[in-house]
Amino acid sequence: MLKLTYKGRTFTNGRALAGAMTRDFNQEMERRIRNAASATGVRVRKTHKGFEIEGEANSMTRFNNRLGR
């Protein structure tokens, strides 16, 4: 049996490991989006379609530049 450790948890099932990695990736991306939005003055809403971002043109440009880093 193969055992893998990811962030302190031991996984023997590949599907459970993939789920944990996907969840961590999604949380990190949401954190980056919200941090970039708060620093640039745009508004972010999480909807069933994804994230909706609204603001002025110059703020959106700053948001895009900050998120690209």
Q: 3-52 pLDDT, tens per residue? A: 999 999 999 999 999 999 999 999 999 999 999 999 999 999 999 999 99
H helix runs in 1-69, sequence order: 14-40, 57-68
- Six token digits for residue 29: 């991306």
Which of the 8 DSSP states describes residue 8? Answer: T
Stated pTM of the model: 0.82
pLDDT at 1 (0 to 100): 82
Per-residue pLDDT at 61 exceeds 90: yes
For residue 16, what are its two tokens? 């459970």
Tell which wins on pLDDT, 2 or 27.
27
| Under 8 Å between Cβ of 17 and 4 | yes
- The pLDDT value given to residue 69: 73
Rg (Cα) of the chain, in Å, rounded?
17
Residue at 59: amino acid letter? S
Both tokens assigned to 49:
């379609």
- What is residue 24's predicted lDDT score, i.e. its pLDDT? 97
